[in-house]
Chain A
Amino acid sequence: MTNQALLSVQNVVKTYESTAGPVHAVCGVSLELQRGAFAALVGPSGCGKTTLLNAIGGLDSVTSGQIWIDGTEITGLSDRKVIEFRLHRIGFVFQAFNLVPVLNAWENVAFVMELQGLGIKARRDRAYELLSAVGLSGKEIQRPAQLSGGQQQRVAVARALASRPSLVLADEPTANLDSKSTDRLLEIMRELNQKEGTTFLFSTHDPRVINRAEVLFQLEDGRLQA
């Protein structure tokens, strides 16, 4: 791992057992990502992007190999420590938005901070600030069902940034959005990347995302292409 790298993936292998035999989803992938990068894991469906992203986010275990984030080897952490690590150091943006329907926009953003133990005022201020940053001023008390898909995904981006993470992992964040919403979302994420210095790593096969990414990691059949 180089001194500047925020993320270091070293020879990671992920193999699933299935009735048809073992499935090699990720085959010895190694990569490094510098702090403040705006990067994307790209490749066709089933190439292992999401599996690798989940492993980087500590959501899934690896069969072998190591993953280091900000100096911590997350592949060696206990389940409880991984959850704690995720809470403080990693933000997630999911393909299907995955907002809590009973919470309004600012509460969805503030929920992670609540889990971190922040006070109500700090939570509210930060949530409002982030919602403003993603262009949702005035929508703070609206529930997800009252927002469009693009707006919901922007709330999800604000939520991902709420805990001031080192790394934001976004799994196909534009898959359910139209072109206009995609452009707006990418614009916002790029601004936040530059303004807050947060590192973004997408998994995508959307050319609009690929075009905006600074760094691309091409995956094919679980292997990183040169």
Chain B
Amino acid sequence: MNLLLSMAWRNIWRSPWRSGVVVGAMALGVWAGIFMMGLAQGVNDTRTANALDDYIGHAQITDSSFIENQEVQALIAEPRAWTAALDAHPEVESWSERLLITAVMQSGAASAPVQVLAVDPEREAQVFKAPRRMHEGSFDSTGITLGLKLAEQLGLGLDDRVVLTFQDLKGEIHSSLYKVSGIYDGISNLVEGIQVYVPIAELAPELLGTVDSLSQPVVAHQIHFRVRNLDSLDQTVGELTAAVINPGSSVLRTWRGISPDLRYADEVLAQSLLLFMAVILFAMAFGILNTMLMAILERTRELGMLMAIGMTRRKVFRLVVLETFLLSFAGMPIGMLLGHLTIAVTSRSGISLAGVEKGMAELGLQSTIYPVPVPEYFLPVALLVAVLGLLSSLYPARKALKLNPIESMRVL
């Protein structure tokens, strides 16, 4: 091994306690950073997964004008062409058509604005999880299914009657009476408080003003679908788009296009986590700087002697930088390993935040968070440690550089 490197390493351990504290602090800082990264990534992944499972799906076909104004007339031009393509594609796991209208729901005691999703209950349950999280009743009946929050808000229970008032395709105001047949317990309070489900076979004729095709509706505002492998979503979307020869004004968007906030959340999170780590390491850098300054002060005489026997200032500088680097890096792998192990354990057991369950629900999250391993951050963290190690070495190294051999050797 290079003698300079060996000397730098041994120099660190001349004050085992002092260096041990710095190494321990670095390990602790990196551990905390890595764990927080895993936790935050877990929160974000869960939030994204919940959104995809609850109300976005993996991808969606809709008319371009519906995206802009959600007008009830903006139906998909050729829904059967799309559903045929979806049925034929091996990567598509399931799909569900929806009619989506804004309505006012009125109970005996109160009223509230709602978003009515007219769906095929069986298909909807294959794409989304909300129909499977039933608090009471069932999803696949002829009545209306609403969220627990909305039910509490309006004081509704099973078999109660509500009136939905909405505008049909002809622009006429239409009112329909429904019996509450199910109450679902969603993850997001936001969704639970506004989304209600009715069978498409019930709503479509009322919306169209016809009784045609009750069991096989041929109208839809949205067709949502899930794929078997989310990693190949873009490829599947491309193939589906190519398969539909005449899509008209309908467009196919992935979840990233439907909900850019989720996509940006991923990107913002990555930047924020590294910034968070940088702040931790920046604080560490001051500890390292202080330790190295003390080390230089204590070894003034020795450094002077080394310069006297022929060590160039450049090599003295290199020695100090090397020592600072080694001191910085010694704790990093320990912190990374501990962080990774902590995540590995908690990713199975989960971290319960039952005390703030309601707040979590407002954010669309369950009360148990499952951190995810973040090995992709190890290299950026190592680079951050290297940069901060280098920065914190500059001042002590400059101090060493300015030593005069004769004056230094006079130091007792």
Binding site for B on A (CB under 8 A): 54, 57, 59-60, 80, 83-84, 86-88, 91-92, 94, 98, 100-103, 107, 110-112, 114-116, 159, 163
Please indicate the chain B residues that have their CB under 8 angstroms from the CB of A111 in the complex. Answer: 3, 7, 309
Given known contacts A59-B308, A94-B305, what 8 new A-B pairs fall within 8 Å (CB)?
Answer: A54-B406, A57-B308, A88-B310, A98-B301, A103-B10, A112-B309, A114-B4, A163-B310
Given contacts A83-B312, A88-B310, whether A98 and B7 have CB atoms under 8 Å apart is no
Is residue B302 contacting chain A, with contact meaning CB distance below 8 A? yes
**A10 CB to nearest B CB, Å:** 22
Which secondary structure dominates chain B's binding surface?
A: helix
Please indicate the chain A residues that have their CB under 8 angstroms from the CB of B309 in the complex. Answer: 86-87, 91-92, 111-112, 115, 159
Q: Is the CB of B306 within 8 A of A100?
A: yes
Is residue B170 contacting chain A, with contact meaning CB distance below 8 A? no
Given contacts A54-B406, A94-B409, A98-B409, whether A84 and B7 have CB atoms under 8 Å apart is no
Considering residues A54, A100, A101, A159, which has the most beta carbons from chain B within 10 angstroms of its beta carbon? A100
Please indicate the chain A residues that have their CB under 8 angstroms from the CB of B311 in the complex. Answer: 83, 87, 115
Please indicate the chain B residues that have their CB under 8 angstroms from the CB of A84 in the complex. Answer: 310, 312
Contact mask B298-331 → A, CB, 8 Å, 1/0? Answer: 0001100111111111010000000000000000
Please indicate the chain B residues that have their CB under 8 angstroms from the CB of A98 in the complex. Answer: 301-302, 305, 409
Q: Is the CB of A115 within 8 A of B405?
A: no
Q: Is the CB of B11 within 8 A of A87?
A: no
Q: Is the CB of A102 within 8 A of B10?
A: yes
| Interface of chain B residues 1 through 51 with chain A (CB within 8 A) | 3-4, 6-7, 10-11, 14
Q: Is the CB of B406 within 8 A of A107?
A: no
Please indicate the chain B residues that have their CB under 8 angstroms from the CB of A163 in the complex. Answer: 310
CB nearest neighbor in A for B12? A102
Please indicate the chain B residues that have their CB under 8 angstroms from the CB of A86 in the complex. Answer: 308-310
**B6 CB to nearest A CB, Å:** 8
Alpha-carbon distance between A130 and B306 when the two chains are bound, in angstroms: 20
Considering residues A80, A83, A87, A159, which has the most beta carbons from chain B within 10 angstroms of its beta carbon? A83
CB nearest neighbor in A for B9? A102
Considering residues A84, A102, A112, A159, which has the most beta carbons from chain B within 10 angstroms of its beta carbon? A102
CB nearest neighbor in B for A162? B309
CB nearest neighbor in A for B312? A83
Alpha-carbon distance between A187 and B315 when the two chains are bound, in angstroms: 35
Alpha-carbon distance between A102 and B15 when the two chains are bound, in angstroms: 11
Given contacts A59-B405, A60-B406, A83-B312, whether A102 and B306 have CB atoms under 8 Å apart is no
**A69 CB to nearest B CB, Å:** 14
**A56 CB to nearest B CB, Å:** 13
Q: Is the CB of A101 within 8 A of B409?
A: no
CB nearest neighbor in A for B306? A100
Alpha-carbon distance between A86 and B308 when the two chains are bound, in angstroms: 8
Alpha-carbon distance between A29 and B132 when the two chains are bound, in angstroms: 102
Q: Is the CB of B7 within 8 A of A100?
A: yes
CB nearest neighbor in A for B311? A115
CB nearest neighbor in A for B3? A114
User: Would you list 14 pairs from A and B whose C-beta atoms are within 8 A, ordered by A residue?
Assistant: A80-B312, A80-B313, A86-B309, A87-B310, A98-B305, A100-B7, A100-B306, A102-B11, A103-B3, A103-B7, A111-B3, A112-B309, A112-B310, A116-B310
Please indicate the chain B residues that have their CB under 8 angstroms from the CB of A116 in the complex. Answer: 310
CB nearest neighbor in B for A54? B406
Alpha-carbon distance between A116 and B378 when the two chains are bound, in angstroms: 38
Alpha-carbon distance between A60 and B409 when the two chains are bound, in angstroms: 12
Given contacts A54-B406, A112-B310, whether A102 and B3 have CB atoms under 8 Å apart is no
Please indicate the chain B residues that have their CB under 8 angstroms from the CB of A83 in the complex. Answer: 307, 310-313
Alpha-carbon distance between A101 and B301 when the two chains are bound, in angstroms: 12
Please indicate the chain A residues that have their CB under 8 angstroms from the CB of B11 in the complex. Answer: 102
Please indicate the chain A residues that have their CB under 8 angstroms from the CB of B306 in the complex. Answer: 100
Alpha-carbon distance between A106 and B335 when the two chains are bound, in angstroms: 36
CB nearest neighbor in B for A98? B305
CB nearest neighbor in A for B10? A102
Q: Is the CB of B315 within 8 A of A115?
A: yes
**B300 CB to nearest A CB, Å:** 12
Nearest first, the 5 A-B pairs at minimum CB distance are A87-B310, A102-B10, A98-B305, A114-B3, A86-B310
Considering residues B4, B312, B313, which has the most beta carbons from chain A within 10 angstroms of its beta carbon? B312
Q: Is the CB of A92 within 8 A of B308?
A: yes
Alpha-carbon distance between A96 and B156 when the two chains are bound, in angstroms: 92
Please indicate the chain A residues that have their CB under 8 angstroms from the CB of B305 in the complex. Answer: 94, 98
CB nearest neighbor in B for A116? B310
**A167 CB to nearest B CB, Å:** 13
Q: Is the CB of A102 within 8 A of B308?
A: no
Alpha-carbon distance between A80 and B310 when the two chains are bound, in angstroms: 10
Please indicate the chain A residues that have their CB under 8 angstroms from the CB of B307 in the complex. Answer: 83
Please indicate the chain B residues that have their CB under 8 angstroms from the CB of A102 in the complex. Answer: 7, 10-11, 14
Alpha-carbon distance between A116 and B309 when the two chains are bound, in angstroms: 11
Please indicate the chain A residues that have their CB under 8 angstroms from the CB of B14 in the complex. Answer: 101-102
